[in-house]
Each structure stands twice: as structure tokens, then as C-alpha cells.
């Protein structure tokens, strides 16, 4: 065969293949670039939303109230879409264009979670008063985006007598139990923290002291630095460090004069106030005043926690001690128990008792049976809900939505923190469709406080200098053992966030609740 013939064959066969391969490779490169851009936009928008949630809840004195919390979440979602639209303005004209590609947004909180997705608004009413009629039409034509009802981290268990009880879990060791236990107990609703009750000893209910695992627990003084509006008309403000205690989950502060001397009423009770709208609202309720006097404005929350947790844990031993993984009822039908199915939950705890707390099952330890089962129950609940929501998602796209496989590290973040998870799917990126998610945890919140989210304030003896350490810090332990440092208190990271006081329409002031009026040094270790 002549050389010319070989050249013609090469051109006819190889050149088209090269062109196709080049086009394919360029398409793959473009798809990777586009996917990377989408990943960056999704993560950044989720981070912006969590930051907005942190700011709103930190400065919102009513953030623990359900309606207020929903408003904070909805504001965070708006921030998410605005941020996503800004970073993707080359690919989407408006935030509403992006909603069709966001099948779900998950907000995990302390004892449950919200899912923002599309739902069928089937409620309609006609008539008034007694003539009002409500109609429900599941025609699938009224889909709109919004928050679905709050879902608790819960599981059902079948007792030996055949009765079914429900246990609501949280992100720590607190649980709520309710259901018909039968017999003389009947229907029971009980909440508390699970601990190893054998570690609690030397209880003195009068002095409010006890020993937990060799550590003496006693009353303590808690303080916060506040800026107060003393005169709304002039905008005059004051500031100071105030002692406080909790009363029915609200903080009560004791007032003092300009020299820092504590103030008392004529009957000897402390002069106390609520901190409302950045003003002092003095307490006139005599019962609350006497409560503040009897405890000498010293917090007994640590004693109360261990004392009440011990009582609750002993009750759990006696009434829930025989429950194992096999007693868990499957969420699919609400009737069948897990039994010998060791693969139903992400963690297999076998025949180990879940709620019988002792040295072998200490709920305060991450390796305990209780903790492993708790995490598995929470994951099962979230997975089931997300699978249903995403697979049934309705949008203007023809993409077949499905929940992506999430990594172990991401599940660890979700199950151990207040977090926000966003899913984005269905956008074309060349030869395939985009399908990914972003997980951002919220470590600055009032929902739950983990060990890593606590700072211990220590004072350098002989000076006014303060140091801030994390639990277990080597320098803190050395400073305490040498006598150089003394512990003042321990507070969550949310207490160290900047607070904003709106004086009037033009003026604002800022302060930190754990600041002091003298100069001090920071040691964030």
C-alpha cells in the first residue's frame, strides 16, 4: 500500500476521533469548572445563611420562642437564596429561578428539625361563621415552598407488656418519655437527663452541694456585662457587671450602685430586674424576690442538674432498663419491631440495654450504647424525611430528584451540632446534571452547648487580668495547680458574641456580655 493511501486512511479515521475526543475532554473540563463554581456558590450561600441565623438569634432575646425561631430560620433561608443568586447571577436571573433546583433545606436544632421544601397547599375555605366549609383537594396543582411542620428526634418502643411508648431525643443526653406503661403507672410523661447515677454522691440538699465523679459541685456566682438604656428620651446609657440567676429559664439580675455595691430592698431581698429591651425592668413579685434572697443570688444550676439527672436516671433504670434495639419500632409501618434486623439502624447496639445507665453505659460518653443508639435514631429520622421530601419534590424541571449519599464525616457534623444542610440538583453542567449538598454547622447558638463550645474564664491572681481557656487546656490546669489562676466561671461561645443595643433610629451601642470594665488580656487556647 502506498504511503499516500496510509495518510488518507489516517486522516479519515484518526482525525475525526481526535476531534471527538478533544470536544469530549473540553466538555469535561468545562463541566468540572462549572461544578466547582456551583459547589463554591452553594457552600458560600449556606455559610451566609448560618451566619445570618447566628446574628439574629444572638441578638434576639426571644429566639427560644417557636414563632420567633421560625422567623429567624425564614430570614436565614432568604439570605441563602439572595447569596446564591448573587454568586450565580451569570446562570440564574432571579432567586426564584434557583428554587426549582433546591429540593430541600434542612435545619437541625436541639430536639428536632425543620425541612424547607415544596408542599401542596390544599387548604381552602368558603363561607363565614357556622357556614364556613374547609375543602382539601390533593390535585398537585398548588405546590409552593415553605417550612414543613417541626419533626422531633423520636423513636417508638414496644414494652414487654405490649404497650408502646415514645422517646424524644436531643443533641445531648436529655430525653422525653411518654406513653402508656400500663399497670399502676398508666400514662406517663417524663423528661430528664441520663447520666450514670452511681457517680453522684455526698448529696446535701440544704447546702446544694454534691460530688460527681470525684468533683465537688456547689453554688456559684454568675455575672454578665450589660449595657442598659437608662433614659429613652435622652438616649442615656449605663453599663456594668451584674450578678444573675435563672428563674423559670429567664435571667434575673441584681442591681448595684455606681461603686458596684449590691442593692437590697427594705425587706432585705435583693433589688432585682429583668433585662428587657435593653432596659431594667424591676421585679415586684415577692415570691421571686424571696427566691433570689434564699439562694443569695448564687446559681445552683449545676447541683440541680446532677441531682435531678440522678433521680431521672434511676427511674429510667427501673422502667426502661430492659429496652434494647430489638424493641425499636420501624418507622415504615409503625408496627413491626426491629427484632434481629441488625442493619436497620446505622449503628448496631445488639442486645445491650439502651437506657440502663451505669459504668458500662455512661450516657455522658460518646462510646456508650445510649449515645450510639441516639445518633442512629436521629439519623434514621432525618434520612427517612429527606428521602421522602426530595424524591417527591415538584418543580418546573424534569430532573429525577433523589437524596445523595452523604459521607460519614458530614453525618457526624449533622448529628452532633445545630446545622444547616442545603441540597442543589438538576442544573445542567454539560454532559451531566449537578447534584451536591453543603453542610455548615452552627457552633454559636443558644440551642445546645458542646464541650468544644465552652470557654473557661480564669483570673490571674493578684491582678485584674483574665484568660479564656477551653476545657482541658494544659495552661489552665498548670495555672490552677500552681496557684497562678483562679476560675471565675465557664460560659458558652454565644455569651462572647457582640450584642447590639439600639438606642434610637440613629444610634446604636455594642457590648460583650463577658467583657469587664478594666483592661484584661485574652488567651484563646
Boundaries of every domain in the chain: 3-152+395-441, 220-299, 451-512
Give just the sign of the alpha carbon dihedral 412, 414, 417, 422: positive
Q: Which of 458, 476, 478, 454 is nearest to 466 (CA)?
A: 458
Give 394's Cβ-side CA count (13 Å radius): 12
Per-residue CA distances from 203 to 44, 199, 212, 290 (Å) = 51, 11, 10, 24
- How far apart are the C-alpha atoms of 241 and 259, rounded to whole Å? 11
Residue 377 DSSP SS3? helix
pLDDT of residue 517: 42
Give 260's Cβ-side CA count (13 Å radius): 6
- How far apart are the C-alpha atoms of 214 and 205, rounded to whole Å? 18
- How far apart are the C-alpha atoms of 293 and 299, rounded to whole Å? 12
Q: Helices 66-87 and 3-59, interaxial angle, to 10°?
A: 150
Q: Which of 337, 415, 340, 335 is nearest to 373 (CA)?
A: 415
Give 193's Cβ-side CA count (13 Å radius): 15
- How far apart are the C-alpha atoms of 8 and 124, rounded to whole Å? 74
- How far apart are the C-alpha atoms of 105 and 420, rounded to whole Å? 7
Neighbours of 126 (CB within 10 A): 9
Give 313's Cβ-side CA count (13 Å radius): 25
Task: Name the phi and psi angles at 111, rounded to 5.
Answer: -120, 15
pLDDT of residue 518: 35
Classify the phi-psi angles of 514: left when phi > 0, otherwise alpha if psi is within -120 to 50, otherwise beta.
alpha
Classify the phi-psi angles of 296: left when phi > 0, otherwise alpha if psi is within -120 to 50, otherwise beta.
left
Residue 372 DSSP SS3? helix
- How far apart are the C-alpha atoms of 254 and 244, rounded to whole Å? 6
- How far apart are the C-alpha atoms of 331 and 235, rounded to whole Å? 57
Classify the phi-psi angles of 411: left when phi > 0, otherwise alpha if psi is within -120 to 50, otherwise beta.
alpha
Bridge-partner residues for 274, per DSSP? 281
- Helices (H) and strands (E) counted in the chain, each on its own, are 8, 25
Question: What is the pTM assigned to this prediction?
Answer: 0.80
CB within 8 Å of 61: residues ≥ 6 apart: 275, 276, 277
Query: Across the chain, which distance is largest between two alpha carbons, in Å?
Result: 119
Q: Three-class SS string for 7-53? A: HHHHHHHHHHHHHHHHHHHHHHHHHHHHHHHHHHHHHHHHHHHHHHH
Burial 105-121 (b: 16+ CB within 10 A, else e): bbbbbbbbbbbbbbbbe
Beta-sheet strand order (sheet of 187-193): 154-158, 164-168, 174-180, 187-193
With beta carbons less than 8 A apart as the criterion, state whether 283 and 253 touch: no
- How far apart are the C-alpha atoms of 494 and 126, rounded to whole Å? 48
Could you give the angle at the alpha carbon of 70 between the alpha carbons of 68 and 76, nearest 5°? Answer: 110
For the chain, first and last CA: distance in Å? 79
pLDDT tens by residue, the chain, 525 residues: 566 656 666 666 765 666 655 555 555 555 667 888 888 899 999 999 999 888 887 666 555 556 778 888 999 999 999 999 888 876 655 556 778 889 999 999 999 999 999 876 655 555 666 666 655 555 555 667 888 999 999 999 999 999 999 999 999 999 999 999 988 888 999 999 999 999 999 999 999 999 999 889 999 888 888 888 888 777 788 888 899 999 887 899 999 998 889 999 999 999 999 998 888 999 999 999 999 999 999 999 889 999 999 999 999 999 999 999 999 999 988 889 999 998 999 999 999 999 999 999 999 998 999 999 999 999 999 999 999 999 888 665 667 888 899 999 999 999 998 999 999 998 888 777 888 999 999 877 666 666 667 778 888 888 878 788 877 788 888 888 888 888 777 777 767 777 777 766 667 777 777 765 433 333 333
Q: Which of 332, 397, 416 is nearest to 110 (CA)?
A: 416
Per-residue CA distances from 236 to 229, 472, 507 (Å) = 6, 42, 11
- How far apart are the C-alpha atoms of 121 and 142, rounded to whole Å? 5
Amino acid at each position: 500500500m502506498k504511503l499516500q493511501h496510509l495518510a488518507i486512511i489516517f486522516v479519515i479515521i484518526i482525525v475525526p476521533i481526535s476531534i471527538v475526543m478533544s470536544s469530549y475532554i473540553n466538555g469535561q473540563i468545562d463541566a468540572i469548572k462549572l461544578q466547582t463554581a456551583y459547589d463554591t456558590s452553594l457552600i458560600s450561600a449556606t455559610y451566609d445563611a448560618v451566619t445570618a441565623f447566628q446574628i439574629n438569634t444572638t441578638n434576639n432575646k426571644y429566639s427560644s420562642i417557636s414563632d420567633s425561631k421560625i422567623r429567624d430560620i425564614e430570614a436565614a433561608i432568604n439570605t441563602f437564596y439572595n447569596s446564591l443568586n448573587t454568586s450565580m447571577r451569570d446562570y440564574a436571573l432571579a432567586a426564584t429561578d434557583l428554587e426549582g433546583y433546591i429540593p430541600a433545606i434542612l435545619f437541625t436544632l436541639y430536639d428536632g428539625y425543620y425541612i424547607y421544601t415544596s408542599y401542596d397547599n390544599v387548604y381552602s375555605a368558603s363561607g363565614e361563621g357556622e357556614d364556613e366549609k374547609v375543602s382539601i383537594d390533593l390535585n398537585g396543582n398548588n405546590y409552593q415552598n415553605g417550612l414543613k411542620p417541626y419533626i422531633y428526634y423520636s423513636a417508638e418502643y414496644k414494652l414487654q407488656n405490649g404497650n408502646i411508648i415514645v422517646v424524644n431525643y436531643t443533641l445531648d443526653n436529655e430525653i422525653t418519655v411518654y406513653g402508656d406503661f400500663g399497670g399502676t403507672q398508666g400514662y406517663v410523661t417524663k423528661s430528664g437527663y441520663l447520666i450514670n447515677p452511681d457517680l453522684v454522691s455526698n448529696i446535701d440538699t440544704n447546702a446544694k452541694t454534691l460530688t460527681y465523679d470525684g468533683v465537688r459541685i456547689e453554688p456559684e456566682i454568675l455575672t454578665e456585662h450589660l449595657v442598659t438604656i437608662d433614659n429613652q428620651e435622652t438616649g442615656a446609657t449605663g453599663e456594668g457587671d451584674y450578678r444573675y440567676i435563672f428563674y423559670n429559664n429567664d435571667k434575673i439580675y441584681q442591681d448595684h450602685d455606681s461603686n458596684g455595691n449590691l442593692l437590697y430592698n427594705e425587706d432585705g431581698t435583693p433589688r432585682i430586674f429583668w433585662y428587657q429591651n435593653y432596659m431594667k425592668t424591676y421585679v415586684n413579685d415577692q415570691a421571686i424576690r424571696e427566691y433570689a434572697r434564699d439562694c443569695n443570688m448564687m446559681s445552683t444550676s449545676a447541683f440541680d442538674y446532677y441531682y435531678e439527672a440522678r433521680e431521672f436516671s434511676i427511674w429510667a433504670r427501673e422502667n426502661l432498663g430492659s429496652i434494647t434495639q430489638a424493641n425499636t419500632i420501624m418507622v415504615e409501618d409503625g408496627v413491626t419491631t426491629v427484632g434481629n434486623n441488625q442493619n436497620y439502624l446505622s449503628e448496631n447496639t445488639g442486645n445491650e440495654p439502651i437506657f440502663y445507665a451505669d459504668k458500662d453505659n455512661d450516657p455522658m460518653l460518646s462510646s456508650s450504647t445510649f449515645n450510639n443508639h441516639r445518633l442512629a435514631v436521629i439519623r434514621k429520622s432525618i434520612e427517612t424525611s429527606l428521602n421522602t421530601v426530595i424524591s417527591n419534590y415538584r418543580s418546573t424541571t424534569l430532573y429525577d430528584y433523589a437524596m445523595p449519599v452523604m459521607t460519614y464525616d458530614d453525618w457526624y457534623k449533622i448529628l452532633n451540632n445545630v446545622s444547616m444542610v442545603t441540597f442543589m440538583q438538576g442544573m445542567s453542567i454539560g454532559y451531566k446534571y449537578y447534584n451536591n449538598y453543603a453542610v455548615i454547622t452552627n457552633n454559636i447558638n443558644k440551642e445546645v452547648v458542646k464541650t468544644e463550645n465552652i470557654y473557661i474564664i480564669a483570673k490571674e491572681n493578684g491582678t485584674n487580668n483574665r484568660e479564656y481557656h477551653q476545657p482541658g487546656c494544659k495552661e489552665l490546669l498548670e495555672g490552677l495547680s500552681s496557684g497562678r489562676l483562679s476560675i471565675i466561671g465557664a460560659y458558652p461561645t454565644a455569651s462572647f458574641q457582640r450584642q447590639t443595643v439600639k438606642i434610637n433610629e440613629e444610634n446604636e451601642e455594642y457590648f460583650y456580655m463577658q467583657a469587664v470594665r478594666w483592661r484584661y488580656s485574652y488567651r484563646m487556647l
